[in-house]
């Protein structure tokens, strides 16, 4: 996952850091940040999504969920990124940008 500054000129500013680190190092008042996400679909044809939610979960929390053979739920996340209605998921790689 790469994080982009979307305020003026987009450029890669970091990866693998939490929201506090990101805000302290790279964001000034009035700037916005987006996350580029690549999803690979193995569906036979394109579908339209009602919405797309990406749950950002701490590593320790995720490890416990996997060990218990559970699924990640929204309440497990410390941040939820949402792409609104009308997003399409096509076979193969799909690229989305979600506002942080």
Each residue of 32-77: pLDDT tens digit? Answer: 778 888 989 999 999 998 888 889 899 899 999 999 999 999 999 9
Per-residue model confidence (pLDDT) at position 16: 53
The answer to whether residues 51 and 74 touch, using CB atoms and an 8 Å cutoff, is no
pLDDT score at 12:
47
Q: Please provide the average confidence, as pLDDT, over all residues in the chain.
A: 78
The residue among 54, 58, 60 whose CA lies nearest residue 36 is 54
Rounded Cα distance between 8 and 85, Å, is: 26
Cβ within 8 Å of residue 69, ≥6 positions away:
none
Q: Quick check: pTM over 0.95?
A: no
- Backbone φ and ψ for 63, nearest 5 degrees, come out as -60, -45
Is 60 exceeded by the pLDDT of residue 78? Answer: yes
Position 30 pLDDT exceeds 50: yes
């Amino acid at each position: 996952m790469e994080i982009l500054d979307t305020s003026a000129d987009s450029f890669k500013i970091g990866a693998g850091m939490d929201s506090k680190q990101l805000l302290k190092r790279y964001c000034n008042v009035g700037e916005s940040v987006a996350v580029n996400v690549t999803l690979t679909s193995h569906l036979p044809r394109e579908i339209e999504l009602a919405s797309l939610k990406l749950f950002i979960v701490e590593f320790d929390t995720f490890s416990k969920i996997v060990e218990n053979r559970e699924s990640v739920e929204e309440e497990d996340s410390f941040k939820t990124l949402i792409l609104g209605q009308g997003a399409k998921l096509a076979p193969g790689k799909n690229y989305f940008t979600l506002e942080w």
